[in-house]
């Protein structure tokens, strides 16, 4: 009897537990998690990267054109100089004396020429009167011509000596930074002395870029004119300095070499950059990016968002109610890890880039925003 009571009690407890279990509502499964990217409208860029060598557009060795002792040096090593600015002055005393001597020779020759002309006129009058012979007239004419030639020679010598005097003032032929000079006041110099100093133009400056043949064709193909003129290609050169800093000045294409190097398969393209702070120095190495930008902003989407079926390309979006929507799109050009979207998306749309295999249109999801599309592309 007691056993029957215990059995009934156990049945009652089991029934109560069953009722409690069935009465508790089942917890719904959480919506699948996805990562979305926010669609942007911006100007996309395509770039090719190279190493570039900095070159001076102009550089010149300062050389004397006359001989003498340096009387004055008007610059310091490393100084910025302007074209026409005085650098050296050679002691002019000897050259001034040579000019004075040449001037005296001109005066003497001029007097001789005038005397010969007067004498010729007198002899010609006597000849007309048949007082002197024709031979005397011819001799007077020859003396006049000889005197005039002597005057011309003296005048040429005077100009030469004046030039030599002018050469005692040595000026900067170009603007730029002047280097170290071993010549100082008191040094004897002449044309055989070689370079007195070296001047390098720093602003603007040039960068030589060895572009591989494939990239060169890609860049040049974007223009309709001469492939040797890249100014209309839509690409612009940009630099990164040796310390990793972006150079703020944008370059312009200057020239393209006339042949491809058969050893390296590259062609040298040169670009010119403003260099007002003189951060770029000849011989330096920089990172160069040839960047292509479109004319205006376009809609861009990550490659990871695009899918394709028999009907074409599509993306899965997440709407304001956190539900998945299928949207047909028409892609355009590819830029790095992004596509231009010609039709189907607008700025602000949220496209799924991660978790696509777990969802389908109409499903509710839990979305997390990824990095901006431009960062994903990089």
Residue 374 has pLDDT above 60, yes or no: no
pLDDT digits (tens, 9 = 90+) for 202-223: 999 999 999 988 888 877 776 6
* Residue 343: CB atoms within 10 Å: 10
Mean pLDDT of 44-52: 83
In this predicted model, which residue has the larger pLDDT, 132 or 261?
261
Mean pLDDT of 310-321: 94
* Distance separating alpha carbons of residues 36 and 316, to the nearest angstrom: 9
Query: In order of start, what are the domains of the chain with their CATH numbers?
Result: 33-43+297-377 (2.40.420.20), 48-57+200-293 (2.40.30.170), 92-167 (1.10.287)
Q: What is the dihedral of CA 329, 330, 332, 335, to 10 degrees?
A: 20
DSSP-assigned letter for residue 340: E
* Distance separating alpha carbons of residues 368 and 316, to the nearest angstrom: 14
Backbone angles phi, psi at 330, to 5 degrees: -120, 110
- The owner of tokens 């390098």 is 200
End-to-end Cα distance, the chain: 83
Q: What is the pLDDT of residue 132?
A: 75
Residue 143 has pLDDT above 80, yes or no: yes
Q: Where are the beta strands (DSSP E) in 21-129?
A: 33-38, 40-42, 45-55, 59-62, 68-73, 80-81, 86-90
Q: What is the pLDDT of residue 377?
A: 41
Q: Label residue 156 by pLDDT band (50, 70, 90).
A: very high
* Residue 142: CB atoms within 10 Å: 12
User: Lowest-confidence range among 97-101, 103-107, 224-228, 344-348?
Assistant: 224-228
Mean pLDDT of 29-33: 89
Q: What is the torsional sign of CA 312, 317, 323, 327?
A: negative
Mean pLDDT of 29-49: 86
* Distance separating alpha carbons of residues 30 and 156, to the nearest angstrom: 104
Residue 225 has pLDDT above 90, yes or no: no
For 15, what's the count of Cα atoms within 13 Å in the CB-facing half-sphere? 6
Q: Label residue 290 by pLDDT band (50, 70, 90).
A: confident
Q: What is the pLDDT of residue 162?
A: 95
In this predicted model, which residue has the larger pLDDT, 12 or 152?
152
Mean pLDDT of 316-333: 93
Contacts of 347 (CB under 8 A, 6+ apart): 39, 40, 41, 299
* Distance separating alpha carbons of residues 318 and 349, to the nearest angstrom: 8
Q: What is the pLDDT of residue 22?
A: 52
Q: Where are the beta strands (DSSP E) in 310-360?
A: 312-318, 324-328, 330-335, 338-343, 350-354
Q: What is the pLDDT of residue 89?
A: 96
β-pair partners for 350: 38
Contact 197, 217 (CB under 8 A): no
Sheet holding 235-240, edge to edge: 235-240, 285-293, 45-55, 205-212, 266-273, 252-256
pLDDT digits (tens, 9 = 90+) for 51-65: 999 999 999 999 999
Q: What is the pLDDT of residue 124?
A: 83
Return the exposure string of 100-139: e unless at least 16 CB atoms fall within 10 Å of the residue's CB, then b: eebbebbeebbebbeebeebbeebeeebeeeebeeeebee
Phi-psi category of residue 312: left, alpha or beta, with phi > 0 → left and psi -120 to 50 → alpha:
left
In this predicted model, which residue has the larger pLDDT, 8 or 207?
207
In this prediction the pTM is 0.65
């Amino acid at each position: 009897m007691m056993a029957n009571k215990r059995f009934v009690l156990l049945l009652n407890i089991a029934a109560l537990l069953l009722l409690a279990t069935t009465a508790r509502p089942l917890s719904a499964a959480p919506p699948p998690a996805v990562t979305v990217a926010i669609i942007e409208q911006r100007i996309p860029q395509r770039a090719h990267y190279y190493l570039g060598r900095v070159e001076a557009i102009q550089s010149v060795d300062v050389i004397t054109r006359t001989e003498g002792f340096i009387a004055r040096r008007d610059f310091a090593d490393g100084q910025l100089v302007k074209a026409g600015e005085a650098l050296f002055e050679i002691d002019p005393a000897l050259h001034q004396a040579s000019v004075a001597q040449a001037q005296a020779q001109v005066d003497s020759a001029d007097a001789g020429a005038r005397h010969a002309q007067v004498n010729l006129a007198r002899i010609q009058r006597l000849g007309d009167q048949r007082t002197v012979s024709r031979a005397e007239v011819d001799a007077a004419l020859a003396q006049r011509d000889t005197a005039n030639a002597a005057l011309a020679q003296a005048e040429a010598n005077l100009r030469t000596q004046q030039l030599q005097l002018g050469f005692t003032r040595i000026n900067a032929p170009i603007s730029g930074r002047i280097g170290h000079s071993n010549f100082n006041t008191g040094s004897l110099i002449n044309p055989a002395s070689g370079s007195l100093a070296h001047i390098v133009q720093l602003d603007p400056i040039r960068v030589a870029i060895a572009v591989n043949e494939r990239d060169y064709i890609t860049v040049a193909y974007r223009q309709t004119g001469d492939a040797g003129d890249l100014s209309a290609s839509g690409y612009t050169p940009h630099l990164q300095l040796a310390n990793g800093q972006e150079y703020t000045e944008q370059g312009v294409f200057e020239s393209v070499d006339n042949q491809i190097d058969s050893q390296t398969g590259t062609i040298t393209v040169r670009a010119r950059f403003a260099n007002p702070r003189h951060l770029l120095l000849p011989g330096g190495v920089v990172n160069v990016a040839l960047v292509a930008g479109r004319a205006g902003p376009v809609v861009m989407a990550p490659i990871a968002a695009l899918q394709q079926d028999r009907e074409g390309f599509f993306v899965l979006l997440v709407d304001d109610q956190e539900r998945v929507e299928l949207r047909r799109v028409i892609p355009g050009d590819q830029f790095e890890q992004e596509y231009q979207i010609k039709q189907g998306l607008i700025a602000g749309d949220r496209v799924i880039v991660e978790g696509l295999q777990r969802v389908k249109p109409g499903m509710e999801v839990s979305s997390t925003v990824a990095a901006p599309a431009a960062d994903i592309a990089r």
